[in-house]
């Protein structure tokens, strides 16, 4: 792991790698509040045969009921899509930190238009994870998100 990447993004990247090892899509996410990880998850569309188990949704499910989300930060290795951005807006998460958006632009403008601060770290490690996966699994990538 790159020591310049903070521990929360490292945890999200570890989730992405776990998903890849399970035969899934390498996208990971963690939810943080007061410097502690409340939940973590990874994309499980393949593993669970569930089209809505994106990394951020899995992370939020694993965090459980948090109550107030406005002081949380959602980390994701890839810019959240509209499904996940909708969850961010719905729960009132005010900050999203994405590992990259070069592979997939996601719903940044949607989140920002709803008052969410979005930071794109543009990390090579995250881009390489996705690039390697897409080269090996183009059909799976294009199944829903890659279009």
Catalytic residue ranges: 56
| Distance separating alpha carbons of residues 34 and 78, to the nearest angstrom | 23
| Distance separating alpha carbons of residues 106 and 108, to the nearest angstrom | 6
Look at residues 64, 87, 68 and name the one whose alpha carbon lies nearest to residue 76: 87
| Distance separating alpha carbons of residues 68 and 54, to the nearest angstrom | 22
Tell how many helices (H) and how many strands (E) occur in the chain.
Answer: 6, 5
Q: Is 23 left (phi over 0), alpha (psi -120 to 50) or beta?
A: left
Strands 95-98 and 28-33: unpaired
């Amino acid at each position: 792991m790159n020591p310049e990447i903070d521990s929360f993004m490292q945890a999200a990247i570890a989730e992405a790698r776990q998903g890849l090892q399970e035969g899934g899509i390498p996208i990971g996410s963690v939810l943080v509040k007061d410097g502690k990880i409340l939940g973590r998850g990874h994309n499980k569309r393949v593993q669970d045969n569930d089209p809505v188990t994106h990394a951020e949704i899995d992370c939020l499910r694993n965090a459980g009921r948090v109550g107030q989300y406005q002081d949380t930060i959602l980390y994701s290795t890839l810019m959240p899509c509209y499904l996940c951005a909708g969850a961010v807006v719905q729960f009132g998460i005010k900050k999203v930190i994405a590992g990259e958006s070069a592979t997939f632009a996601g719903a940044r403008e949607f989140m920002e238009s709803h008052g969410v601060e979005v930071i794109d770290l543009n990390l090579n490690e995250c881009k390489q994870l996705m690039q390697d996966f897409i080269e090996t699994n183009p059909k799976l990538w294009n199944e829903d998100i890659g279009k």
